[in-house]
């Protein structure tokens, strides 16, 4: 298994979206353009 691969679980609602990565870290972003830009930086 490649250890450089990271998986994300995403739950999107009207105001925010919650993200959990394969290491168990939790993040929450606003469901707008700025929130998606912050999420893309995480990726």
**Structural domain harbouring 31:** 7-42
Write the pLDDT tens digit of every residue in 4-40: 888 999 999 999 999 999 999 999 999 999 999 999 9
2 lies in some domain: no
Measure the CA–CA gap between 25 and 32, rounded to whole angstroms. Answer: 21
Tokens 């739950």 — which residue?
Answer: 11
pLDDT band at 1 (very low <50, low <70, confident <90, very high): low
pTM beyond 0.85: the answer is no
19 lies in some domain: yes
Measure the CA–CA gap between 7 and 22, rounded to whole angstroms. Answer: 5
Cβ 23 vs Cβ 6: under 8 Å: yes
15 lies in some domain: yes
Write the pLDDT tens digit of every residue in 31-43: 999 999 999 998 8
1 lies in some domain: no
Measure the CA–CA gap between 40 and 20, rounded to whole angstroms. Answer: 14
Number of domains in the chain: 1
């Amino acid at each position: 298994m490649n250890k450089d691969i990271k998986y994300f679980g995403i739950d999107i609602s009207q105001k925010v979206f919650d993200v959990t990565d394969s290491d168990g870290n939790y993040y929450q972003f606003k469901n707008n353009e700025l929130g998606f830009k912050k999420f893309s930086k995480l990726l």
